[in-house]
Amino acid sequence: MENIIEVKNLTKFYKKNKAIDNLSFDVHKGEILGFLGPNGSGKSTTINCILSLLNFSKGSIKIFGKEMKPNAYDLKRKIGVVFQDVAVFDELTVYDNIDYFCGLYITDKSKRKKYIEEAINLVGLKDFKKYYPKQLSGGLLRRLNIACGIAHKPEIIFLDEPTVAVDPQSRNSILDGIKKLRDNGATVIYTTHYMEEVEILCDRVIILDKGKIIASGSNDDLKDRASIKERITVESKDIDDVHLTQIKNLPEAKEVSYEDGILKVAYTNEKNNLENMIDYLKNNQIKYRKIYSERPTLNDVFLELTGKELRD
C-alpha cells in the first residue's frame, strides 16, 4: 500500500514530560484509520505535530513523500481538518460559511460553487443553505463544521470526534458521509470515543497510550489479541448460588457474574461454549428466556490493553 503519511521516531516533550515517545507509524492511501487512546495518551499532540501546529523534539514527518513544515502550503492545501470544537462564523449562512472556507483554497468561482453544492449534499444540508448557525441543531451544526473542512476536496482529512453529542439521524448522516469520502479517494484519520463507530468505519486501528503505540491492526486483528474469546449471556431467574459455583468451574470459564436475572460468562476459547452452557441449563432444569453468544468487542480489547475506559 502507498504510504500517504510517514511518521518516524516522533518525540515531543512538554518541559520534562515526554508526551510522545519515539512514535513511528504510516497512514495508507485511501484508508480510514482509527486513531484511539484514553485522554492524555498523545493523540492530539501527535496530530498537531503532523499538521505542523506544534514543534517536536525529534523525528520526521512526511506527507506525500515530502517533509511537513509550517510553511509547506502546497501540502496543507491537500489536507482538511475538522476539530471537535465547532468553528464557523455566526454572521454567515450555511452556504456562505462553506463558501468562505472553500474559498481559502479554491479561487475559481464556478469550481468552488460545484464543490460547495457537493459538500452540502454530502452532509445532508440541502434544506438549510440559508440558515444561520444559531438556527441549527447541534447535529446540523456539526454537519456544517464537517462541510467547511472538506469542501475543497482534500486528499487527507483529520476528523476529531465529529459525532459528539449529536442526534442519531445526524450521526448516521455523518458516518455515511465519511464512508463516501473514503470511497471517493480521500484518506481519513478518525478519532472518537465511540468504539461502535470504529467497528463500522475503520479499515485499520492504532491504539495509543502514554505516547506509544500499544496495538495496531484491523478490527479483527485487535479482537484476536483479547484474552476473552467469547461472552455468553443468559436471561434466567432460576440460577442459585450452587449453580453459580458450578458454572464458575465450567471449562474455560474466566469471568462469571449474575445480577438482576442476567448471567454473564466470559471464556478464553471459542469452542463448544454455547453448547456446553445449554447442556448445563437443560441438565439442571434451569429455565431461561434468552441465551446468546458474542465475540469480544473493540472496547473489551481497549480495556484489556490500557486498563482504562476510552474516555478516561
Instruction: Write down the domain spans for the chain.
Output: 3-224, 230-295
Q: What is the structure's pLDDT at 309?
A: 64
Q: What is the structure's pLDDT at 110?
A: 97
Share of the chain above pLDDT 70, in %: 98
Whether the predicted pLDDT of 53 surpasses 70? yes
- Is the pLDDT higher at 74 or at 271? 74
Residue in 113, 126, 112, 133 with CA at minimum distance from that of residue 173 = 126
> In what helix (H) or strand (E) does residue 242 lie, and over which residues does it extend?
helix 241-248
Is residue 291 within 8 A of residue 233, CB to CB? The reply is: yes
Domain 3-224 has CATH 3.40.50.300: yes
Whole-prediction pTM: 0.87
> In what helix (H) or strand (E) does residue 263 lie, and over which residues does it extend?
strand 262-267
Fold classification of 230-295 (topology level): Alpha-Beta Plaits (3.30.70)
Segment 56-70 mean pLDDT:
96
DSSP 154: -
CA distance 1 to 216: 16
Helix-helix angle 168-183:138-150, to 10 degrees? 10
Segment 74-100 mean pLDDT:
96
Task: For 234-292, write each residue's pLDDT tens digit.
Answer: 999 999 999 999 999 887 888 999 999 999 999 988 888 999 999 999 999 999 999 99
Q: Which residues, at least 6 apart from 119, have a Cβ–Cβ distance to it below 8 Å?
A: 98, 102, 147, 150, 151
Residue in the block written with cell 499532540: 45
Segment 84-96 mean pLDDT:
95
Whether the predicted pLDDT of 107 surpasses 90? yes
Segment 224-242 mean pLDDT:
92
